[in-house]
Amino acid sequence: MLSPGAAPEQSRPGNQVGRYTFLEDVALADCAIELEGRDLDDLFETAAAALAALMVEPATVSQTVERTLTVTAPELDLLLYDWLSELIYRKDRDREVFTRVQARVTGAGPFQVRAEARGGPIDPARTLLGADPKAVTLHQFAVVRVNGGWRARVVIDV
């Protein structure tokens, strides 16, 4: 089983943008993640990659499932909250983890993310498990525009 601190900082393989960092000492029973993206699409893709890396070793997930996911929310920060909540829900309901996501964020309130998500089932014989996220929390939750890009802080209850 992976520990949330096993990979303190990650860049998505093959991409030059999008970064996430698992933060220590932000919350005791939770995992805090600092996210950066060059634009909103990249921020939401990076958030999905970070959540997948928290849940599993991504290389151990077969790429056999493709889903189109759509989430709508009245505010941008709530969209990211609902997006990550949807991915946790899919893990719990369908036992599927999405390790590759192409997202498109649109709107000016309400906002929408539509994503093509690829991944696979959690297979006990193949998938190396990490933490088991229960929910996204509002503790220190933030989405801000910085230097032409976007940054977010998310705390996940594990």
Q: Which residues are within 8 A (CB) of 120 and not within 5 positions of it... i.e. 6 or more apart?
A: 61, 62, 63, 64, 65, 96, 97, 99
pLDDT tens for each residue of 99-153 = 999 999 999 989 999 999 999 999 999 999 999 999 999 888 999 999 899 999 9
Question: Is the pTM value of this prediction over 0.95?
Answer: no
pLDDT tens for each residue of 17-66 = 577 776 666 555 588 899 999 999 999 999 999 999 999 999 999 999 99
- The pLDDT assigned to 19 comes to 75
More confident residue, 150 or 10: 150
